[in-house]
Amino acid sequence: MSDPSNPSIAHLAGARPPATDWSSDELARALAAASEWAVGYRERVAEFPVLPHVVPGETRALLAQSPPREPESFESVLADFDQIVVPRLTHWNHPGFLAYFSSAARGPSVVAELLIAAVGVNAMLWRTSPAATELELVVTDWLRQAVGLPPCFRGVILDTASSSSFAAMLAARERAGENVRVDGVGGAGTVPLTTYVSDQAHSSIQKAAIAAGLGLASVRRIASGPRFRMDVHALDRALAEDVASGAHPMLIAATLGTTSTASMDPVGAIADIAEEYDTWLHVDAAYAGSAAMVPEAREPFRGWERADSIVINPHKWLGTSLDCSVLLFRDPDPFREALSLMPEYLKPEPGDGTNLMEFGLPLGRRFRALKLWVLFRCVGTHGLIDMLRNHMGMAADFAARIEADDRFELAAPVQFSTVCFRVRTGPGHEAPDEDTLNRRVLGRVNRMGRVFLSHTELDRRYTIRLSIGSVYTRGDDIDAALLSLGEAADAELAGVRRSR
């Protein structure tokens, strides 16, 4: 009962009752309209330019600047979504999205997201959702089996590889025996903890070191060789020098499928060094880990089964919707020791099952396992393998056609479905600034709207990058990429020659 004498709640007396949720009929009509829209969008997504032609602030100016005081119809909301928001999106489901690593969602994942929202569970503890917890244990084991890893690995699902690698770093920090959990970084008796990555590694490892309180200076960037793979001799020297200076090598992060070139660090040789120095080995296979499902593509992964932790993102190359990052690990204890903290109101009952919140930073946990389960059930491993093979075949074809075209040159060995290349001016026609030339060609291609490509820097040279990862990409889209590149290169090279 409210207490009118309490001034903080007295104003609530006589307040109008809150609006109720939609009725079943209203929900059914809205779901029907939304599903009809979603199907239509996916049928016509190729009609949009991949990148919208907008300027900063344009979308915001078209939206209401204050929240509505009264409810609006879903029909009006959907209409504004369709007319204002969607035309100004970058369309990650577009078949011409060939930038970064695609996170195009397959149909089963789209439907699974609806089911996830409908049940609205929080899978933080076993008892807060027993089935969601146990389904997560099942599907992470399905993924482990599909990529050929041994049964000593178990897994959890987090949002992105950044979170997964951060959790692995905290576990490695805890296993290093510095008692950072209690005393903090720099506590009494601690020694410097060091992390080792290739100069091609994803920035998330460095970001994890910042967030873990270790600092950027604790991360040693090891030079890569001519194939953009970590130089294991340089790695061995770095660890030996650090040990001699009193540091404690804490973690080595090997990358299988780097962001720039999809290059594969020699993980077997790196595992030898990790064992010699008793250092945690983390494998970032966020993109390429899915390729280990393909038997003939598995050889470069040999040795990753010796890692302490591995991250694979099904939202990068398997068609699950963002976000879905699977962290696999051998020993759960370092994760619990680093991250488990159970307040009284969350303490499990005797006989409860696994509490997955103990293995990552977030307390609340979405039911991400459902969309991976639905994907496996509705597509099957054979279907997923066929898709991966198809993408790798299209990339190989694209690379062969680039090599045969004297306007272009490959900038790195082709790995999986990622191709790096540059525009060249040809013998005796060197451009004053070839980086500017390549930058201008890429900008022109992306403005055409047929495809979206991204860039990287290799050997200090601006490099164009194409990566195939969407189930919707077809040979015609690769043809469109080559056509756009040829037109853009011709236009820019003509401009270079006129300027002489």
Residue with the bigger pLDDT between 38 and 1: it is: 38
Three-state DSSP at 423 gives strand
Q: Which amino acid is at 357?
A: M
Please tell me the predicted confidence (pLDDT) of residue 119: 94
Question: What percentage of the chain reaches a pLDDT higher than 90?
Answer: 79
Tell me which DSSP letter residue 254 carries. Answer: E
Mean pLDDT, range 47-59, rounded to an integer: 94
Both tokens assigned to 344: 């009284």
HEC readout, 131-181: HHHHHHHHHHHHHHHHCCCCCCCEEEEECCHHHHHHHHHHHHHHHCCCCHH
Instruction: Report the C-alpha gap between 172 and 169 in whole angstroms.
Output: 5
Please tell me the predicted confidence (pLDDT) of residue 178: 65
Contact predicate 492/448, CB 8 Å? no
β-strand pairing of 280-284 with 248-255 = parallel
Q: What share of the chain is helix, strand, coil (3-state, %, to 5)?
A: 50, 15, 40
Sketch out the chain's domains with CATH numbers.
24-89 (1.20.1340.10), 121-366 (3.40.640.10), 377-498 (3.90.1150.10)
pLDDT tens-digit series, residues 165-196: 999 999 999 888 767 777 777 655 567 899 99
Please tell me the predicted confidence (pLDDT) of residue 79: 97
> Which residue in this structure is represented by tokens 């009962």?
1
Please tell me the predicted confidence (pLDDT) of residue 348: 84
| 38 CB-near residues (< 8 Å, 6+ apart) | 110
Please tell me the predicted confidence (pLDDT) of residue 157: 97
* 122 CA to centre of own chain: 22
β-strand pairing of 461-467 with 454-458 = antiparallel
Contact predicate 258/197, CB 8 Å? no
Peptide bond into 323 cis (omega under 30): yes
pLDDT band at 6 (very low <50, low <70, confident <90, very high): low
pLDDT band at 14 (very low <50, low <70, confident <90, very high): low
Checking if the pLDDT of 151 tops 70, the result is yes
Q: What is the mean pLDDT of the chain?
A: 91
Q: Which residues of 316-342 are buried (b: 16+ CB within 10 A; e: fewer)?
A: bbbbbbbbbbbbbbbeeebbeebbeee
Instruction: Report the C-alpha gap between 425 and 489 in whole angstroms.
Output: 9
pLDDT tens-digit series, residues 270-298: 999 999 999 999 999 999 999 999 999 99
> Which residue in this structure is represented by tokens 């209409």?
79
Look at residues 271, 268, 315 and name the one whose alpha carbon lies nearest to residue 289.
Answer: 315
pLDDT tens-digit series, residues 456-469: 999 999 999 999 99
Contact predicate 21/30, CB 8 Å? no
